[in-house]
Structure 1
Amino acid sequence: MIEKIANAGPEATKIITIAPEKAKVEHLEKLKKAGINIAVGHTNATYKECMEKKDYFNCATHLYNAMRALDSREPGVVGFLFNNDTTNCGIIVDGLHMDFASVEIAKKILKDRLYLVTDAVSPAGTDNMTEFMFEGNRVLYKDGKCVSPEGTLGGSALVMIDGVKNLVEKVHVSLEEALRMATSYPAEAVAVDEKYGFIKEGYVADLTYFDDKFNVKGTISKGILTEY
């Protein structure tokens, strides 16, 4: 599988999430040489295990979630991410996956290496879905939260504009910086910033415009305007 992904290159796979404690160095080497971004995530790795393979990971999948937390005696994955200056981290700012104060702490530490992700699944943007299937598992949706029947979080229903709104209103980030966290920072993190993430001549014209209440009023996709 690794050979197939590496051979297809970054045109097929921009980013792949791998747990450091389960990764073979030769596999990481192949993916890196192929130009594929490797994210640390869905992992119970120790700080030492992360550090041993730190040169291969340039991203992190939804900071804090599905990774070993920071502890005074075992810094874990979160400690590893806070203590290096080369890994860019995605974060889900919905108020459910973590406290907004945890987002604020991460922002102060990571600065422009922290970018907004949604981790959105089927209910995102809908108003009448109560449950759905994900990878063969039943997931319930209620009050904005996606959970298994046992109560485990299973993805989010966050849409990007609400993530931006939460950054501004709950995390006290400026609107300009919140927009960078949703656009230019993630584009830079996965090395597509030569075409995406900025409003510049020669860039793909994918834009969203919204009012001062964060209501989306329209989108421009490849230069074509659609109003709502």
Structure 2
Amino acid sequence: MDDLRAIPLFKDLGEERAKAVASRCRWRNYDTNELIIDYEDESDEVHFILAGKCRVLFRSPTGREIILGELGEGTYFGELAAIDGTPRSANVTAMHRSRLCIMPGRLFMDLATEVPSVSRHMLANLAGLVRSLNARLAEHSFLQTKERLYAELIRQSKPRTGHEGQRIVSPPPFHHDLANRIGCRREVVSRELSALAKAGLTEKSRGGLILCDPDELNRRISKAMEK
């Protein structure tokens, strides 16, 4: 059995309690593209990612999909159902082969109310989620498609080593994934990326998509927000 304290949320649990809690959890491997939880499932278990990566996705009644985010090792999902008992609000799928700890919702809530460090960590995680969703809502309310694309590219990027002022999205993003993240058609993303390349603001490399002047992209976003 895996050590529950390898999960950041439970790193401060004592050894005996960690073992007792772990014995009440399920530990499972998921294959690439395997569904973990589906929209409107009535389960209330909380899932902790020990290894791998998962994608959180919302699917509308018409079949349209929006990528809400991706979660990696040490993160968790499903706590909302454990807190309020409502059906799942999103679909979660393993992007790569992944190993998860699956904890009953009641057990999770007992730990959240009895262990201060767990409670603080959970509240900080929820606060971060609210802030992220507020930012995404603002983007969809105030920005046109192209500025939403700029914001998503910056969000996915990291500083490019050895090239001060530049950032890189690595591996290079798929156009349909970007479209699903910002709520538009793939063709629109392809057109806007071509325009950015022609303007010298992006450049393709073997390692990813280079943002040559992220400051200019941020200026364009800020300008659009002021309108």
* Rg larger in structure: 2
- Flag the structure with more relative contact order, 1 or 2, with Cα contacts below 8 A and sequence separation at least 6: 2
TM-score by structure 1 length? 0.26
Whichever structure has more helix as a proportion of its residues is 2
TM-score w.r.t. structure 2 length?
0.26
